[in-house]
Structure 1
Amino acid sequence: MTVEELWQLFPIQLSEHDPQWSAWYEDESSSLVRILGGNVARIDHIGSTYVSGLVAKPIVDILLQVRPTADIADVRGVLEGDGWLLMAECPERGELDLNKGYTPEGFAAKVFHLHVRREGDWDELRFRDYLVGHSDAAAQYGELKRRLLVKYEHNRDAYTQAKTGFIRSCVDKARKT
C-alpha cells in the first residue's frame, strides 16, 4: 500500500476521553514487562489518552525505556514475536516505533503505539505532565487537534507536524518550572 492508501484506511479520528484507555495501558504494559523482563528500565502511558478530559486519537501511546545494556535488535525481535509491527527504527540511537491494532480492514478495537527509547530524559513525559497540570493548555491543545483534524484527516504527517509548535512551547514551559 502507498502512504496515501494507508492514510485512507487509517484516518485520524478523535474521541472524547475514555477511562478505559488507562486499563488498556495497564494490560499492555504488564505484558511488555513480562516479555522484555530486565530490559525494561521504565514504562509510561504518554500522549493524549493519558490526560483526563482531553480529546484524543483512540490510540494508547506507550513510552518504553530500555536499559543501556539492552540489545535493541533482540528487543525488536521479542516485540515482533508478540505481534507488534515495526513502523520506524533508528538502531544507532536505540529507538524503535511499533504499533498494534492496525489490520487490513482498519483499526482493531484496541490500538497502541509503542515508542522504545534508551533510558533517558524524554520530552513526551514533560508534555504529558504539563497538560495534566495546566488544564488551560490541555483545552487549547484539544481545540488545536479538532481544527487540524478537519484539515488533515487523511494526512498523519501533516497533522503531527502542525502540532509540533504547540508541543514544543509546552515542553519549553515545563522545562522552566
Structure 2
Amino acid sequence: MPTDFFVRINHIGSTSVPNIWAKNIVDILLEVKDYCAMERVKGLLLDHGWRCMNETKKRASFNKGYTDAGFADRVFHLHLRLYGDCDELYFCDYLRRHPEIARDYERLKLSLWKKFEHNRDGYTEAKTDFIKKYTKLGKSEFTGTDRYPKS
C-alpha cells in the first residue's frame, strides 16, 4: 500500500496492552490524511481480501481471518479513520500507562465474555462506559504531546 495515503498506523485493542488477557484478534488503527486517501485505501483493502464490516462517511472497519467454519488462526480488525479520529489509541495508551486500570479492563472483559459470547454488539455496549471514561482521561493526559498534537 503506498505510504502517501496514510498518516500513521498503530496496533490498538487488548492485544496491544501488556499483561492483560485478550482474544486472538489484532486490532489495527490506520489513519489517513483525507477523504480521497480513505477511498483509495478502502479499494486497496477490498482488493487484497479484507472484508468491510461497516462503513460511514468518516470511518470504515474491515476484517480478515473469519471463515465459514469460524475464526482462522489469526484474526485482524482494521479501523480506517481520518487522521485525529483516534479515540481507541488514547484508550490503549492510557491502559499502557496505568496497569491497574488495564487490569480492571481485563476483569470487566472476562466478566462479560460468557454472557455475550455470541452477541458482539452487546459485549461492545457493556464495555462502552468504561472505555469512554478512560478515553476521556487519556485525552486529558496526552493531548498536546508529540503523539497527539493539538488540532
Fold in common (TM above 0.5): yes
Task: Give me the whole-angstrom Cα distance separating, in 2, the residues matched to 1:72 and 1:47.
Answer: 21
**Which structure shows the higher helix fraction?**
1
User: How many residue pairs were aligned?
Assistant: 141
- Residues 174 and 74 from structure 1, CA distance in 2 versus in 1: closer, same or farther, beyond 3 angstroms? closer
Please state how far the C-alpha of 1:169 moved relative to its aligned partner.
1.0
Match of 1:38 in 2: 4
Which of 108, 114, 126 is 2:72 aligned to? 108
Task: Give me the whole-angstrom Cα distance separating, in 2, the residues matched to 1:89 and 1:43.
Answer: 19
Match of 1:64 in 2: 30
1:160 lines up with 2:119 in the alignment: no
Q: TM-score, normalised by structure 2?
A: 0.88
AA matched with 1:164: T
AA matched with 2:22: A
Contact 1:36-1:78 within 8 A present in 2 as well: no
**Which structure shows the higher strand fraction?**
2
Which of 123, 131, 138 is 2:102 aligned to? 138
AA matched with 2:63: N
Q: Which moved more, 1:127-136 or 1:65-74?
A: 65-74
Gaps of 5+ in 2: 142-151
Task: Give me the whole-angstrom Cα distance separating, in 2, the residues matched to 1:69 and 1:100.
Answer: 23
Please state how far the C-alpha of 1:131 moved relative to its aligned partner.
0.4
Contact 2:116-2:123 within 8 A present in 1 as well: yes
Cα displacement string for residues 73-118 of structure 1 (whole angstroms, at most 9, x for unaligned residues): 332111011110000111x22x110000001111111110000001
Report 1 or 2 for greater relative contact order, CA contacts < 8 Å, sequence distance ≥ 6.
1
1:97 lines up with 2:37 in the alignment: no
Task: Tell me the C-alpha RMSD between the 2 structures.
Answer: 1.3
Match of 1:73 in 2: 39
Cα displacement string for residues 155-175 of structure 1 (whole angstroms, at most 9, x for unaligned residues): 000000000011111112223
Which of 120, 127, 132 is 2:91 aligned to? 127
Q: Secondary structure of the equivalent of 2:22?
A: coil
Task: Give me the whole-angstrom Cα distance separating, in 1, the residues matched to 2:82 and 2:139.
Answer: 20
Question: What is the aligned-residue identity percentage?
Answer: 47
Please state how far the C-alpha of 1:69 moved relative to its aligned partner.
5.7
